[in-house]
Amino acid sequence: VSAALKEGHVTPTELCQRCLALIKSTKFLNAYITVAEETALKQAEESEKRYKRGQPLGVLDGIPVAVKDNFNTAGIETTCASNMLKGYISPYNATVVQKLLDQGAVLLGKTNLDEFAMGSGSTDGVFGPVRNPWSYSRQYKEKSVPKSHSEDKESNWVITGGSSGGSAAAVSSFTCFAALGSDTGGSTRNPAAHCGVVGLKPTYGLISRHGLIPLVNSMDVPGILTRCVDDAAVLLGSLAGHDPKDSTTIQDTFKPFKLPSLPDVSKLSIGIPKEYHAPGLSSEILALWSKAADLFKNAGAKVIEVSLPNTCYSIVCYHVLCTAEVASNMARFDGLEYGHRSDMNKSTESMYAATRREGFNDVVRGRILSGNYFLLKQNYENYFIKAQKVRRLIANDFLKVFRSGVDILLTPTTLSDAVPYMEFIKEDNRTRSEQDDILTQAANMAGLPAINVPTALSERGLPVGLQFIGRSFQEKQLLTVAKWFEKQVKFPMIQLEEVERHNHNVFQHQKSASFS
């Protein structure tokens, strides 16, 4: 598309309008919380002027993008899908948003998520659940014949995964070319897997978190959702680097890179961590996983089984660390400076209590409660300190494996394909998050870069992805392997009947997977 823009086959305004039209016709997906139509068109216009002058700002100029609604955007509502921040307009842009805008990207809107990114379904936000575009694909419809005709067709739709489900759905349904998510325990990779898109969680400290409303500061990373690995590399190049506003970003300058067009994996050593053969892993995915391993083997790579023995403690440990930081991070939402404020005015304390009761959903409140419990003086040693020690052990597991000569780890991203919403909500958020983060979350503990690459369709016609985990700050190697793999598996394009019906022409144009 970038080339098309350059050559004038399509103008940024046309592109933007088409995306906006698509957003409207796919409104039922509930992928967007806010659509910034006006500002987007203005940005597109500006971009068009630059192209006309022959001075585009770079490969991102004029490219329509979407941003998860937990990144601050000046002038556009930032809600975190919470009553607490409904109507909140931030006075500043998150660094990553600013970087996108500075490079000419057109910001279409803010995407849906679980409240404050706490969840793995994108079902627990105040604006309602996000629907997986694949629910409406020809592929899914053909394969998943309702067991009984009495079953409502409507209830068959599947979840996107989460918490960046809105961003994944937006990219998957062609309403934008790339989207920002956030990834704390798998929140970018999980929905990417369910929606059949590329989801990259870069190394902790490579991309600025300034302006990302935190879930767990020590694990949060802005995530990148795109249609192909090359696009993810472009986005990474435009976002990475030291930010003086985020002291946890690394000082070294980041050099954007281009991936080789014919990647070679023959000299690599691919590790298959046996602990990722987790209970509940679907046989389909297991088969796919070993097939993938064979692909590498056949390409001349060394494929070895490795062990990350402390992986099994990861979820419990995550629960303690996550809730503790959540309890702390959420303390600022007291109704005084911004956000929701309850009418209760008997005393400051009662106002706090009512504000927080009204502003947060059960999931957020539950995590705040348990987090505060873990931080109590009498519990701190037994829970928080222990969890930190376990976290170190988990990180060391990875270090050891990488030190032993393994370059990249190959694992499944999710235990199964996406489940129908009606199925999903039978379990509570906590149980779901624990199950769904199980394969993604250790990478956050260790701060490692990881990527979901869409691999195949399940028997039900839903996307399944595999995950690659790389060494710290070795994104280039990770993405090179991912690109090679992407080329091998030739993941099918989503066939969105409803989108096609409404926007036949638009769809044709949007089909080009890559914008780079």
> Which of 286, 287, 336, 493 is the binder for another protein (CB under 8 A)?
336
372 binds another protein (CB under 8 A): yes
Among 25, 82, 137, 163, the active-site one is 163
Strands 32-35 and 463-469: unpaired
77 binds another protein (CB under 8 A): no
212 binds another protein (CB under 8 A): yes
366 binds another protein (CB under 8 A): no
Angle CA 132–221–56, to nearest 5: 80
71 binds another protein (CB under 8 A): yes
> Which of 99, 194, 210, 391 is the binder for another protein (CB under 8 A)?
210
> Which of 11, 34, 90, 164 is the binder for another protein (CB under 8 A)?
90
473 vs 94, 111, 237, 343, 491, CA distance in Å? 22, 28, 13, 48, 27
Q: How far is the CB of 346 from another protein (least distance, A)?
A: 10
381 binds another protein (CB under 8 A): no
Peptide bond into 261 cis (omega under 30): no
Catalytic (active site) residue 68: yes
350 binds another protein (CB under 8 A): no
83 binds another protein (CB under 8 A): no
What residues between 135 and 194 interact with another protein by CB under 8 A? none
Catalytic (active site) residue 173: no
Nearest residue to 182 via CA among 340, 312, 72: 72
Kindly state the DSSP code that residue 511 receives in the 8-state scheme: T
216 vs 182, 386, 445, CA distance in Å? 11, 17, 11
Contact 514, 174 (CB under 8 A): no
Q: How far is the CB of 376 from another protein (least distance, A)?
A: 5
214 binds another protein (CB under 8 A): yes
Give residues with Cβ within 8 angstroms of 49, minimum separation 6: none
Catalytic (active site) residue 472: no
Residues in the interface with another protein (CB under 8 A) total: 44
319 binds another protein (CB under 8 A): no
> Which of 24, 50, 143, 245 is the binder for another protein (CB under 8 A)?
245
The interface region with another protein, picked from 86-94, 136-144, 299-307, 497-505 by CB under 8 A, is 86-94
CB atoms under 10 Å from CB of 156, counted, come to: 16
The interface region with another protein, picked from 11-19, 132-140, 260-268, 329-337 by CB under 8 A, is 329-337
> Which of 60, 130, 216, 478 is the binder for another protein (CB under 8 A)?
216
| Residue 123 or 184 with smaller CB distance to another protein | 184
SS3 content of the chain, % helix, strand, coil (to 5): 45, 15, 40
The interface region with another protein, picked from 10-18, 40-48, 135-143, 213-221 by CB under 8 A, is 213-221
Q: State how far the Cα of 101 lies from the Cα of 106, in Å rounded to an integer.
A: 7
Helix axes 229-239, 475-489, angle to 10 degrees: 160
Q: State how far the Cα of 80 lies from the Cα of 127, in Å rounded to an integer.
A: 10
Residues 292, 293, 296, 300: what is their CA dihedral angle, to the nearest 10 degrees? -150
| Residue 17 or 342 with smaller CB distance to another protein | 342
The interface region with another protein, picked from 234-242, 285-293, 369-377, 440-448 by CB under 8 A, is 369-377
Among 47, 68, 120, 370, the active-site one is 68
HEC per residue, 198-253: EEEECCCCCECCCCECCCCCCCCEEEEEECCHHHHHHHHHHHECCECCECCCCCCC
Q: How far is the CB of 488 from another protein (least distance, A)?
A: 39
| Residue 49 or 389 with smaller CB distance to another protein | 389
* Amino acid sitting at position 32: Y
- Across-strand partners of 152? none
338 binds another protein (CB under 8 A): yes
One DSSP character per residue, 15-53 reads HHHHHHHHHHHTGGG--EEEE-HHHHHHHHHHHHHHHHH
Would you name the residues annotated as active-site residues?
68, 163, 187
Residues that bind another protein (CB under 8 A): 71-72, 78, 80, 85, 90-92, 94, 209-214, 216-218, 244-248, 324-325, 327-328, 330-334, 336-338, 348-349, 352, 372, 375-377, 380, 384
